[in-house]
Every structure is written in C-alpha cells, then in structure tokens.
Amino acid sequence: MTAELVCGELQRSGDELELRAQRLAGGLARMGVEDGDVIAVMLRNGPVFIDAIQSCQTAGCYYCPINWHFKSDEVAYLLNDSAAKVLLVEADLLATLDGAIPAGVHVLVVGGGAEDARDYERWLAQQAPYDGPERTPRAHMAYTSGTTGRPKGVVRLAPPPEARAQMAEHMRELCRIAWGITPGTRALVTAPLYHSAPTSYAQQAIQQAETLVVMPRFDAEQTLALIEQHRIETVYLVPIMYVRLLRLPAEVRAKYDISSVRFVASTGAPCAPDVKQAMLDWWGDVIFETYASSETGMITLQDPQSARRKPGSVGRPIGDTRIRIVAEDGKVCGVGEPGVIYVRQPLVPDFTYLNNDAARSKAGLDDLATVGDIGYLDADGYLYVCDRQSDMVISGGVNIYPAEIEHVLITLPGVRDCAVFGMPDAEYGESLMAVVAVSDPDLDEAAVQAFIRSNMAGYKVPRRVELVDVLPRDDNGKVAKRRLRDSYLSASA
C-alpha cells in the first residue's frame, strides 16, 4: 500500500507515487548507483523528497538528507564523506554551492526549468522503471556529531535477506507504538524532512497510511486547518511547535475541529512539563513522547497518563528494550542515581558510523550503545534525561554541535579562544551562547555573529555573544565549558 500524498496544492495518488519512485530507482541504477550506495537530498519539504524516500526501497541505496540551510563548506563535507553518487537539489540552493560538489557527482535540479538538461522532472519522465535484480530496501543515513565537531554518518546495518520481512514487521510495530502509524491512518508531518525523526515518520506513513499530508513549512494555524480539512489521525510535532500552537489566540484555536487526532508523536527534543500539560488540557490525552536517537532508534514511550503522573520523564522502555544506567567507574547505577544512559532496541538493526569505527566502539558497552545522555531510572522504571556528556545543544528540536561552531569561530582574526554552549530558552528549550576571548578591541558581538552566519547555517549563530579577555581552563588544558556555563546560569538566575 502506498499513501496518497498531499503537499500544499499538490495531490498525488499512491499509484503515481509508486510509479515515480520506480522511475527514479531505474534512473539511479542507470547512473551507476549500486546496492548500498548513497544519494544526497538537499530539498525543502515537497513531493520530490518523497520520491527519494520511496525510491531507496527499490534502488537499495541510502538517501542522505542535507539541511538546506547549510552553507557551501558544510555541504561539501557531507558530499565527500558520504561518497554520494547523486545530488537532488533545488535550483536556488544549487546557486549557493560553488565548489561544494565533488567531481563525478550527478546533479538533478528541482525547479530548474525544462531547458536545463539536469531538470529533475524532465529527466524523470524519460526514465523507465527499475527492472534489475532485487536490492536491499534501505532508508536514510542521518549525520550526527559530538565533541569533535565533524558530523558522523549513522548507517543502519541491513538485515540478511531471510530476516527482512520479520524486521520490517518489527519496525511497523515499533512505529505503531511510538508514532501511532497504523495501516489506513491519515497522517500529517509538520517538521523538516531533513531531520531524522520526521523523515523516518514520513517513510513509514507512505508505506502504511491512507493519506500523508506534508507541510512545506510549519505554521501553527495552518496545522489546525489541515487537521480539520483532512481529518488527520496521527501527527508529528516537536515541543517548539507546541509552544507556537499554544500562543494562538483562544478564538483562533476554537475555529478548528481537531477531534480526529488520536495520536501526537514527539521526539528529538525535551518537552517542558508545563507545555505538555497545556497541550494535554487542550488536545486531550493524545500527546505521546519518545526518547530516541538516530543511532539507537526509539527507546521509551511516555503516554498521556504517565505524563500527568510522572512529569519530566520520557517514559518507560518500549517492549523488550533494555536500559542500563552506568556510573563513571563502570558500575550500574541504582534507582534515582544519574549516570550514562546505555540502551538496546531489539526491534531495529544495529548501526555503525560511516568511516569512523573508533567512534562506534566508544559508543558501545556489551551490545548496548550510548549517545552520551545522562539520566536515571525511578523505582517504576521510568527514564529521566537530565544532562548530556557531549556538548550538543537541542534548540527548537534541532541538534546543534558547539564544537563545529567553535572550529569556524576560532578562524576569525582577533579571536584568541572561544566556547559555545547552550543556555535555557523559554521558547526553544535551549539557545546558543558564545564566550569569546578577543585580542582585537574593535571586535564586537555583531561582527562575531556575522562571521558565523557567513560560514554556517543561520540557526548555528549564537543569540548571545560575550567578549572576555581569557577563558577558564581545566587542569588538562581544555576550556572549562561546564564551569563557564554554570557561571552564566548562576548570573542569569
């Protein structure tokens, strides 16, 4: 079953989606894309993104979503590291990528016009459906990062042919529990598809739902209107969207019938208990939260009832998922004792990091893995996430890696030293702050922000910049970032 697609004014039947995906898979094969290869996708939410998602089920390749806010250097790194053979990119974005595309990468341009030989729609219409040997169905290859500042490609290991059907059934069951996706449902995805969870959500919905509605861009009131218009049953939202929905005037909220919604899936960012409570009071007992990562898959589920009883928790393990909290000395922590969160979700295949075996080995403990989060289990087995080992900041549901920003900022003339970290933010959950040691007295906050903005995606620009003479360092010579952050937290308090 392939869902009907609705995106803005466009509507496509399941049969149309399937034919386009088969043609894209055939064209990719004739371009030399083999089983296990990678194609890169630098697109806004739209029908071509759905083509790419679907085609990988037949073509046997991974699709690597690239955040379309990225600048040339960021895109160049991902294309080179992933060894992508094809890039699907929108015409206006391509114009910003001078020198970023490696030689030999085939480029297909979306919205470029039929006169361009690389125009995607013109090219696709000329392609015959894939007719080669069966390939391994694959999905997205997300890039994530850590303290090194260099993103790492997360590759989900493909199950052997004899286990594919069972593993696919396991994944459908996991998505039913964590995302509310069931055969014949009517689903809405509001978040950018270049993020890991929304693109996974969309992939499952395409394969199971009756209708998948994809918002080109999130708008709070339009979300309510689409729910009413299409009688949406399950929807993917993140906490910052809750905040913006709750800011709508009461008369606007009352205009729309959202009674069809039975499941709201949320993951990727912590949700403040008062925000979740307000959504439960408005939407009813349909708000679910999942603790997950690109590496480990979906680990816990907090249902509406436990959200009321256990505010701040991310829920209990899904099914046979195992969670182990480990102290610095390697011992298993007791009830209520914080430590590093190690997990194993048996319903999804294991992962590895592309071109980075060392990073994968550091993430493992027995057959469990960690992404560096700190948390604890209570006496009832509910997980609470309270901190991160890594410096990652989650702002508005977007993962931001401060080391990546620091590596750019330190190249600005007049900067001697720098530290970037997250600070609490009422709307975004966290926002970026940079503390910069300068040698040039004429360097100011605006110049620092402008330099970062000219080299990186806009959401990586710190909202607050503090200029200082020197940064504190630990005995090992590293910037004492946690101590620095704590001092600003205390000052803010």
> pLDDT tens digits, residue range 136-145?
999 999 998 6
Same domain, 278 and 355: yes
423 secondary structure, DSSP code: E
Q: Give 3's Cβ-side CA count (13 Å radius).
A: 30
Under the banding of pLDDT at 50, 70 and 90, the label for residue 362 is confident
Q: Establish if 156 belongs to a structural domain.
A: no
Q: Establish if 163 belongs to a structural domain.
A: no
Cβ neighbours, 10 Å, residue 295? 24
Same domain, 274 and 342: yes
pLDDT digits (tens, 9 = 90+) for 149-200: 578 999 998 888 898 899 899 999 999 999 999 999 999 999 999 999 999 9
Same domain, 33 and 121: yes
Q: Which of 388, 403, 422 is the last residue of a domain?
A: 388
Same domain, 131 and 221: no
The candidate with the shortest Cα–Cα distance to 3, out of 33, 47, 40, is 47
Q: Establish if 165 belongs to a structural domain.
A: no
pLDDT digits (tens, 9 = 90+) for 453-470: 999 999 999 999 999 988
Under the banding of pLDDT at 50, 70 and 90, the label for residue 486 is confident
Bridging pattern class, strands 316-317 and 368-369: unpaired
Q: Which of 364, 388, 412 is the last residue of a domain?
A: 388
pLDDT digits (tens, 9 = 90+) for 395-432: 888 878 787 788 788 889 899 888 999 999 888 889 99
Say what the pLDDT of residue 147 is.
46
Q: Which of 90, 117, 138 is the last residue of a domain?
A: 138
Q: Establish if 232 belongs to a structural domain.
A: yes
Under the banding of pLDDT at 50, 70 and 90, the label for residue 301 is very high
The candidate with the shortest Cα–Cα distance to 244, out of 268, 273, 275, 213, is 275
> Residue 218: pLDDT above 90?
yes
Q: Give 231's Cβ-side CA count (13 Å radius).
A: 4
Say what the pLDDT of residue 474 is.
57
Under the banding of pLDDT at 50, 70 and 90, the label for residue 237 is very high
Distance set, CA 215 to CA 112, 147, 189, 225 (Å): 22, 33, 6, 11
User: How far, in Å, CA of 433 to CA of 417, rounded?
Assistant: 14
- CATH code at 422? 3.30.300.30
Residue with the two structure tokens 């709750």:
246
Q: Establish if 409 belongs to a structural domain.
A: yes
Q: Establish if 145 belongs to a structural domain.
A: no
User: How far, in Å, CA of 65 to CA of 297, rounded?
Assistant: 17
Average pLDDT over residues 11-35: 98
Same domain, 369 and 457: no
Task: Print the domain residue range for 471.
Answer: 393-492
- Cα Rg of the chain (Å, integer): 23
Same domain, 337 and 419: no
| Identity of the amino acid at 280 | L
At 291, phi and psi to the nearest 5?
-90, 125
Under the banding of pLDDT at 50, 70 and 90, the label for residue 480 is confident
- CATH code at 80? 3.40.50.980
Q: Establish if 340 belongs to a structural domain.
A: yes
Record the pTM.
Answer: 0.85
> Residue 148: pLDDT above 60?
no
Say what the pLDDT of residue 93 is.
96
Cβ neighbours, 10 Å, residue 320? 9
Total domains in the chain come to 3
The candidate with the shortest Cα–Cα distance to 155, out of 346, 298, 352, 296, is 352
Lowest mean pLDDT among 12-21, 210-219, 340-349: 340-349
Average pLDDT over residues 318-346: 93
Q: Which of helix, strand or coil describes residue 389?
A: coil
Q: Establish if 151 belongs to a structural domain.
A: no
Same domain, 237 and 306: yes
Mean pLDDT over each residue of the chain, to the nearest integer: 92
Q: Residue 247 burial by CB count (10 A; 0-12/13-18/19+): exposed, middle or buried?
A: exposed
Same domain, 321 and 199: yes
User: How far, in Å, CA of 189 to CA of 236, rounded?
Assistant: 5
Helices (H), ranges, 36-163:
47-59, 72-82, 91-94, 120-125
Residues in the chain: 493
